[in-house]
Amino acid sequence: MKCRKCSREAVIFQQYSGLHLCERHFTINFEARAKRAIRKHQWIQPGDRIAVAMSGGKDSSALLYFLTSQFGARRDVEFFAICIDEGIAGYRDPAVAERIAASRGVPFYTVSFADAYGLTVDEIVERRGDAVSCSYCGVLRRHLLNRIARELGATKIALGFNLDDDAQSVLMNVLRGDLDRLVRPTAPVEGLVPRIRPFRVLPEREVALYAHLHLSGFEEEGCPYSHNALRADVRTMLNDYNYRHPATKFALVRLGEELANLGGSIASSLHACEECGEPCTDVCRACQILREFEGK
């Protein structure tokens, strides 16, 4: 098939827009949509110092590439990369993220669960199995990322979540009946570095294509411990449904956004944890998890 905008060979067909696009016109289309999301949410403002959360995988690597290529020349915005090393032998290697950060000319910082918590995900799996390790890892990673980003003076944390990730999360929360998570506050909270997700409007396969077109050397594998049964089911179901109704994922993300806007009043219920000082609800999940593994 030929590109709709020129006569070159198309590299992608966007089912929801009906467009076949070549490499060049796909890249223009992709970047325009991410920039539109940034403008709409005012995610990048003069004076911002933005920490890009880098795993070294395709989403976060593509995000760093996108941000530095589109905004890197601005003198009033700074970028740097943070890689959290969860301690997963044979999988997480901060050197992968470090090389990509170096290729984009941004400062790179890495911090490990082992140094920050004296605990690795390998140890969590060894003691608790891999059924809970994903949620424990997620809590501890967010906790550490927020602290390190704040200590490094970040005004925003940029996350590589794509449309599929976000649509799946919204649907999972619906299926679990988890209203709290659906109306999670977006209002600013003391000590919590605001998160931005420029790729939440872009389908996973387009982020993957963008990464492959513009970068090399990123981590292609998923985490060996991640077998979240609910997410896998929701992913299959959503992809199947979305094939027949191509606007579905966009609709779910929009629903999630609108529900989160209703939740602004919950923000005041966050307070500083007595143990670690990070913003948390009644019980600090990170401290709770760390207590479980004390004196291991």
| Residues in contact with Zn ion by the rule CB under 5 A | 3, 5-6, 8, 22, 25, 273, 275-276, 284, 287
Closer of 6 and 32 to Zn ion (Cβ): 6
Neighbour tally for 282: CB within 10 Å: 7
How far lies 150's CA from each of 113, 140, 191, 278, in Å? 17, 15, 8, 10
Report the nearest approach of Zn ion to the CB of residue 271 (Å).
Answer: 11
Side chain identity at residue 116, one-letter code? A
Identity of the residue, 10 or 63, whose beta carbon is nearer to Zn ion in the bound complex = 10
What's the CA gap between 126 and 265, in Å, rounded?
40
* 19/174 with CB nearer Zn ion: 19
Residue 126 phi, psi dihedral angles, 5° rounding: -60, -40
Rounded to whole angstroms, the Cα distance separating 256 from 200 reads 11
Q: How far is the CB of 223 from Zn ion (least distance, A)?
A: 24
- Per DSSP, the three-state class of 173 is helix
Q: Determine the Cα–Cα distance for residues 120 and 181; give it in Å rounded to an integer.
A: 27
| Residues in the chain, total | 296
Q: How far is the CB of 234 from Zn ion (least distance, A)?
A: 30
Q: Which is nearer to Zn ion, 22 or 67 (CB)?
A: 22
Of 8 and 176, nearer to Zn ion (C-beta) is 8
Contact 281, 181 (CB under 8 A): no
To the nearest 10°, the Cα dihedral for 234, 238, 240, 241?
130
Q: Give the nearest distance from C-beta 286 to Zn ion in angstroms.
A: 5
Half-sphere exposure of 236 (CA within 13 A, CB side): 5
Closer by beta carbon to Zn ion, 174 or else 287: 287
Which of 218, 262, 268 lies closest to 65 in space, CA to CA?
Answer: 218
CB of 147 to Zn ion, least distance (A): 10
Measured from the CB of residue 173, what is the shortest distance to Zn ion in angstroms?
A: 24
